[in-house]
Chains A and B, each alone.
Chain A
Amino acid sequence: MEALKQELKEKIIAVLNLEDITPADIANDAPLFGEGLSLDSIDALELIVLLDKDYGIKLTDPKEGKAIFQSIDTMADYVTTHRTK
C-alpha cells in the first residue's frame, strides 16, 4: 500500500505538472482539493483520466470523485479495491 501511495503521488505531480512539489510534500491524509494542494475541477478530470489510463478504473459517476480524491489515502484504498490493471 505504501508503494502505491508513493506511486500515486509521483503520478499526480507529473500529470498535474506540480512544479517544485515532491512526493514528500504531500501527506497521505492531507486534502487534495480546496486546502492542501488546492486542486480544482479541471485537476479532478485529469485524475479521472489517470485512474482510467493507468489502473483501468472508469468512474461513471463524477460525484464519486469527491470521496475518492479526498486524499492520497482514499485514492490508494479505491485503486486497491477497484483496479483492473
Chain B
Amino acid sequence: MGKTFINGIGCVSAQDTVNGFPSEFIIDPSTNYLEIVKPDYKDYFSPIASRRMAKGVKNGIVASTVAMKEAGNESPDAIITGTGMGCIEDSDKFLKAIIDNKEEFLTPTSFIQSTHNTVASTIAINLGCKAYNFTYVNGAVSFESALYDAKLQLDADEAHSVLIGGVEEMTEYTKSLFKLAGFIKPDDSGPHNILEADTKATVFSEGATFFMLEDERKDSTYAEILDVEIVNKLTPEEAAEHAEAFIRRNNLTLHEIDAVVLGYNGDSEFDGYFKAVAKNFDFAPQMYYKHVSGEYNTASAFGLYVGANILKSQQIPSDLKANDESRPAYRNMLLYNQYRGLDHSFTLISV
C-alpha cells in the first residue's frame, strides 16, 4: 500500500503565508472578519488572464502554483479541490444581474465562473492537465473529502502525485447574510477570545491552501498523512471517543500523540466539542489556529498547513499554543475540526 507525503504547500490566508510559514502572526481580536493578505497576483498571471478570475480562483491559482513549485512537480496525476461555498463572488454577480436586469442581458462570464469546480478546472487548463479533476462540496469537510480521495488514490497506486486544495471566498453580500444568520459575530462586539469563547458565532475569513501529495518522500517533505476520517454528526462525548478510536486504529496510543491541532473558532455554542477532545490530550501540546486564519468551510486546510509546518520545523509558534505543554520532538500529530456540531474531521500526520 502506497504512502502519502506532503511535498509542497501553498497558502493564501489572513496571514503572510505566500512566502512561507510566518514566524509571527497578525492577531486582531477586535474584528469579526479577517481580511486576507493579498499576494502580488501579477507574479502568477497576467492581468488579461485574470480578467475572469474572482478572488477565490486567483488565490487558488497562487496557492497551487506555490505548492507545485515547492514539490518540483507541475504534472499531477489528479487535481482535487474542496470548497464549501464555491465561487460565491460570481454566483452573487450572476444572480444580481438577473434581478437588476429583469432576467435580460445575462452575460456568460459570471455564469461560467460561478460553478464550484472553477478553481480545479482553471488550474488544469493552465497546466494543460487532462487527468482526474474533481471538486468536493461537503460543507466543512470539503477539504478532508478531497484529502480522503487523494489518499485513496495514492494508497491504491492509482496516482503518484495528487494536487489537493481547499478554497473559500467571501463577498460583502454573503457576509451580511452570515451576520443575519448568526454565523459571524456582530460588528463592534469584540474583542473576541477564540480559545475561551463567551459569545456565539465566529470570526470569519476566506483563503486557499493547496498541498502537493506524493507517494515518495523528498527533501521538501513536510509530513506523512497517516489517516483521515470524516463523520457527519457526533456529540462532544462521541467526538472524544472517536478521536481515541481513530488513534488506536492506527496502531498508536494516546500518549504517542505529540501534538494536537484543534479548530477552536470562538463559538461558545460549539466549543464543547474541542474541549471534549482536548481533555483526553491534556499531556500533549495543543494548538489552535482560527484566531489567525478565521473560520471558513475549508479553514481546516490551514490547520493542516500549520500542523505540517510544525512537524517539519519541530517548532510550535507561541501565537498558536493553546496550552503550555511542549515536547523535545514532535512525531505524531492529531488534527480535529468541526463546524457547528457537524462535519467532524480527524486527521493523523507524522514526520
Instruction: State the main secondary structure of chain B at its contact with A.
Output: loop
The distance from the CB of B58 to the nearest CB of chain A, in whole angstroms, is 11
Specify which of A17, A18, A42, A52 is in contact with B112 (CB 8 Å cutoff): A42
Query: How far is B48's CA from A53's CA once the two chains are assembled, in angstroms?
Result: 24
> Which residues of chain A are near B101, meaning CB under 8 Å?
53
A42–B109 contact, CB under 8 A? yes
**Nearest neighbor of B51 in chain A, beta-carbon distance:** A17
**Nearest neighbor of A46 in chain B, beta-carbon distance:** B107
**B interface, size bucket:** 10 to 19
A49–B48 contact, CB under 8 A? no
A18–B47 contact, CB under 8 A? yes
> Which residues of chain A are near B106, meaning CB under 8 Å?
49
The distance from the CB of B195 to the nearest CB of chain A, in whole angstroms, is 40
A16–B51 contact, CB under 8 A? yes
A45–B48 contact, CB under 8 A? no
- A37 close to B (CB within 8 Å): yes
The distance from the CB of A11 to the nearest CB of chain B, in whole angstroms, is 12
- B128 close to A (CB within 8 Å): no
- B50 close to A (CB within 8 Å): yes
- A20 close to B (CB within 8 Å): yes
User: Quick one: given A42-B52, A53-B101, are A19 and B47 in contact (CB under 8 Å)?
Assistant: yes
B48–A37 contact, CB under 8 A? yes
> Which residues of chain B are near A42, meaning CB under 8 Å?
52, 108-109, 112
> Which residues of chain A are near B108, meaning CB under 8 Å?
42, 45-46
Interface string of B44-61 (1 = CB under 8 A from A): 000110111000000000
The distance from the CB of B38 to the nearest CB of chain A, in whole angstroms, is 13
User: Quick one: given A42-B52, A42-B112, are A20 and B105 in contact (CB under 8 Å)?
Assistant: no
B105–A52 contact, CB under 8 A? yes
Interface string of B97-139 (1 = CB under 8 A from A): 0000100111111001000000000000000000000000000
Q: Chain A: residues with CB nearer than 8 A to chain B?
A: 15-21, 37-38, 42, 45-46, 49, 52-53
What are 28 A-B pairs with beta-carbon distances under 8 A? A15-B107, A16-B51, A17-B51, A17-B52, A18-B47, A18-B48, A18-B51, A19-B47, A19-B51, A20-B47, A21-B47, A37-B48, A38-B48, A42-B52, A42-B108, A42-B109, A42-B112, A45-B107, A45-B108, A46-B107, A46-B108, A46-B109, A49-B105, A49-B106, A49-B107, A52-B105, A53-B104, A53-B105
Query: 4 closest Cβ contacts across the A-B interface?
Result: A53-B105, A19-B47, A20-B47, A17-B51
